[in-house]
A and B are shown apart, each in its own frame.
Chain A
Amino acid sequence: MTSQALILPDTPPQRLAGDLAIWFFIGAELVAFAAFFGAYAFTRASHVAEFNLAQQGLNRDAGAVNTLLLLTASAFVVRAVQGALAGRARADAVWLLAAIVCGIGFLGVKGVEYAAAFDQGISLSSSTFHMFYLSLTFFHFMHVILGLVILVVLWAGMRAGRYGPQDMNGLESGAAYWHMVDLVWLILFPLVYVIH
C-alpha cells in the first residue's frame, strides 16, 4: 500500500475583518443593549397587559420603514467594502454616500415619531413601557448618529483612495460598527414595536 500525501487546499491564513479593538468595543456595545433588552423582557413579564396596551400607540409603519432603511444602508456598506477590496475605492465611494442618505432618512423618520410622542405628552416618567421605549430607541438613535459620523469619515477616506485590498482595516472596522447598529435595531424593532 502506498502512502498518499495529504494535499491541503491553498487557503490564505485566516484574517480578522476589522481591528480587534473595534470588535472589543462592539462586544461591549452589545452587552449594553443586551442588558437593556433583558431588563425590558424581565419587566414586561410582570406588566404584560400594560405593555401591550401602550405598545398599540407606537407607529409600527414608521418602525418598518426604518428597518428597511437600515437594512438597505447595510447592504450599501457591503457594496462599498467589496468595491474597495476589488481596488475600486474611489468609484465605489458613492455606495457609502447612499448608506449615509438612508441613515439620515432613519433619523428623520424617528424624529417625526418622537415629535408625535412628545405632542401626546409622553416622557420618560409617563409609564414603565414609555421609559423603556424612549430609553432604548434614543440610545440606539445616538448610535445611528455615531455610525453616520463614522460613515462620513469612511466616505471621505474612500474618495481620497485611502482604502484598498492592502489596507482594509479602517474601512472594515467602521463597516462592522455600522452593521452592529443595524443588528441592534433588528432586535429592538420586533421586541418593542411588534411582539405582544
Chain B
Amino acid sequence: MQYQSQAVAKPYFIAAIALFTGQILFGLIMGMQYVVGDFLFPEIPFNVARMVHTNLLIVWLLFGFMGAAYYMVPEESETELFSPRLAIALFWIFLVAGAATVLGYLFVPYATLAQMTGNDLLATMGREFLEQPLPTKLGIVVVALAFLFNITMTVLKGRKTAISTVLLLGLWGLAIFFLFSFYNPHNLVKDKYYWWWVVHLWVEGVWELILGSLLAFVLIKVTGVDREVIEKWLYVIITLTLVTGIIGTGHHYYWIGAPEYWQWWGSVFSALEPIPFFAMTVFAFNMVNRRRREHPNKAAVLWALGTGVMAFLGAGVWGFLHTLAPVNYYTHGSQITAAHGHMAFYGAYVMVVLTLISYAMPIIRGRAANSNKAQVLEMWSFWLMTIAMVFITLFLTAAGILQVWLQRVSDTPMGFMATQDQVVLFYWMREWAGLMFLVGLVTYIVSFFVKGEDSAATQ
C-alpha cells in the first residue's frame, strides 16, 4: 500500500460484502415466494423482501464505490487522504443508518414507518427504490456531501489525473441526481418523469463513469499499459456513455404521459447504449493483451475482464432486447425487465466493485496478491456466481417471453396471476440458480480466509 490512509477502504469493503450477502438471502426468500406464495408470511411479506433486496443492493454498491474511491484517490493523487478520520466516522454513520432503515422495513409496517419518520412533513416515500424514510434520505445526502468533500479535497491537494476526474464527475453526479428523490409532485406523470432522473441517470449515466474509472484504474495497475492510452479510451467511453445514456432516459417516457417524440428519441439513443459497453469490453481485453507485466493477482484480472463482458451482455444486449418502443409496448414491466435488471446490475456494478476489492484487499492486507490457493478459490467463486447469474437471466427471460405471450400478445389474453401459474417452472429453475449463486458467494467469502504461501511482497 503506497499511502497509509488507503486502509480506510477496508471496513467499507467488508461492510459491502456483508450487505451483499444479506441482499442475496432476501433475493432467495423472494424467489421462493414467487413459487410458494405464503413462504415466511406474515413475518416477511413479499413487498418487504423486495424492498430489502433492492435497497441492500444500492447501499452495498455505495459502500463499494466509497471504499473504492478511498483506496484509489490517494494513489491517483499521490497524497494521503484529506481526512481518514472523517472517512471512518462516515462509515459508521452510514452503516448504522442503513441497518436501522432495514430493521425499520422488517419490523415496522411501512405506513407506520412513514408516519414515525416525518413523511407527512415532506412526502418522499412509497416509490420503488426510493422507499427510504426521510431521515435516511437526508442522511444519505449528508454522508455523500462529507464523502465528496473528503475526496475532492484530496484530489485538489494532489496530482490530478483523468481517472480521478472521471471518478469525481461520477460521484458528484450520483449525489446531485439523488436530490431528485426529494421532489415528489402530485402529478403522477411528473413524479415518474423525475423519478427516472435518479434511477436511470444513476445506473445508465453517472454510475457508468464510476465504473469506467474503477476499471481503468485496475487495468493500469495490473497491465502496466501506459496511462495515456488507457485515459484516451476512458474519455471516448464516457463521452459515448453520456450522450447515449442521458438522452436514452427517453426509453422510460414512452407511455407515462410524456410527449410522443420520446418514443423516437428514447428508442434511437437507448439503442446505442450498448456501444460504450462494447467499447469497454474491447478496451479491457485490448489492455490485458498489451500488458507489460504479469501481475500476480490473476483473480483481479479475471474480474476486470468479466466486468467488461457481463456488463455488455447484461446492460447492453439484454437492455437492447426491450428498449425499442414497439417492443417495449409488449414487454414493459414483465420478467424481461427483471432478467435485464439482474444481469446488468451484476455485470456492471457488482463485478466492478468485486474487481476493485479483489485488487485492493490483498494489498491492504500487506501483500501484492493472495496465495495461489486463495486465488483459485476466488476464481471458482467468479465462475459459480457468473454462471448462476447467466442462468437466472436466461430463466427469467424465458419466463418473460412466455408471460408476454400469454398475457399480452395472445388473442385470448390471460390474467396476471393465471399467467404466473403458467411460468412457475421457470421460477423454480431461477430459484435453483439463485442457490448456486449463494454457493458462489460463500466460496467468495471463504477465499478471504484461505491461507497458503503469499505471492511476492507488497508493491
Contacts and interface: CB of A to CB of B under 8 A. Distances in A.
A25 B265 CA distance: 20
A28 interface: yes
Given A24-B279, A125-B260, 6 more contacts: A19-B232, A24-B236, A28-B275, A31-B275, A35-B271, A135-B261
29 contacts: A21-B233, A21-B235, A21-B236, A24-B236, A24-B279, A25-B236, A25-B239, A25-B240, A28-B240, A28-B275, A28-B279, A31-B275, A32-B243, A32-B268, A32-B269, A32-B272, A35-B268, A35-B271, A35-B272, A39-B264, A39-B267, A39-B268, A124-B259, A125-B260, A131-B260, A131-B264, A132-B264, A135-B261, A135-B264
Interface in A130-149: 131-132, 135
Interface centre among B232, B233, B264 (most CB of A within 10 A): B264
Contacts of B240: 25, 28
A21 B232 contact: yes
B144 to A, nearest CB: 31
Interface residues of B, number: 20
Interface string B249-272: 000000000011100110111011
Contacts of A51: none
A24 B240 CA distance: 10
Contact of B261 (A24, A28, A31, A124): A124
Q: Majority SS of interface residues in chain A? A: helix
Nearest to B244: A32
Interface centre among B265, B267, B268, B279 (most CB of A within 10 A): B268
A114 interface: no
Interface in A22-64: 24-25, 28, 31-32, 35-36, 39
Interface of A: 19, 21, 24-25, 28, 31-32, 35-36, 39, 124-125, 131-132, 135
B394 to A, nearest CB: 28
Contacts of A125: 259-261
A28 B239 CA distance: 11
B261 A131 contact: yes
Contacts of A31: 272, 275
Interface of B: 232-233, 235-236, 239-240, 243-244, 259-261, 264-265, 267-269, 271-272, 275, 279
Contacts of B244: 32
Nearest to A134: B261
Given A19-B232, A21-B233, A124-B259, A28 B272 contact: yes
Q: Which 4 A-B pairs have the closest CB atoms?
A: A124-B261, A131-B261, A21-B236, A35-B268
A79 B240 CA distance: 30
A32 B272 CA distance: 7
Contacts of B267: 39
Contacts of A28: 240, 272, 275, 279
A141 B274 CA distance: 24
Contacts of A25: 236, 239-240
A125 B243 CA distance: 22
Contacts of B268: 32, 35-36, 39
Contacts of B235: 21
A125 B261 CA distance: 7
Nearest to A43: B264
A124 B265 CA distance: 11
Contacts of A36: 268
B375 to A, nearest CB: 33
Nearest to A35: B268
Nearest to A19: B232
Contacts of B239: 25
Nearest to B239: A25
A125 B240 CA distance: 27
Contacts of A24: 236, 279
Contacts of B272: 28, 31-32, 35
A188 to B, nearest CB: 14
Contacts of A21: 232-233, 235-236
Contacts of B259: 124-125
A180 to B, nearest CB: 14
A24 to B, nearest CB: 6
Contacts of B271: 35
Nearest to B276: A28
B443 to A, nearest CB: 38
A25 B283 CA distance: 13
Contacts of B233: 21
Nearest to A40: B264
Interface centre among A19, A24, A36, A125 (most CB of B within 10 A): A24
A187 B431 CA distance: 52
A132 B264 CA distance: 9
A21 B261 CA distance: 32
Contacts of B232: 19, 21
A148 to B, nearest CB: 17
A99 B144 CA distance: 46
A32 B233 CA distance: 19
Nearest to A32: B272
A131 B239 CA distance: 25
Nearest to B271: A35
A39 B260 CA distance: 15
Nearest to B247: A139
Nearest to B275: A28
B290 to A, nearest CB: 13
Contacts of B243: 32
Contacts of B265: 135
A115 to B, nearest CB: 20
A28 B267 CA distance: 16
Nearest to B234: A21
Contacts of A131: 260-261, 264
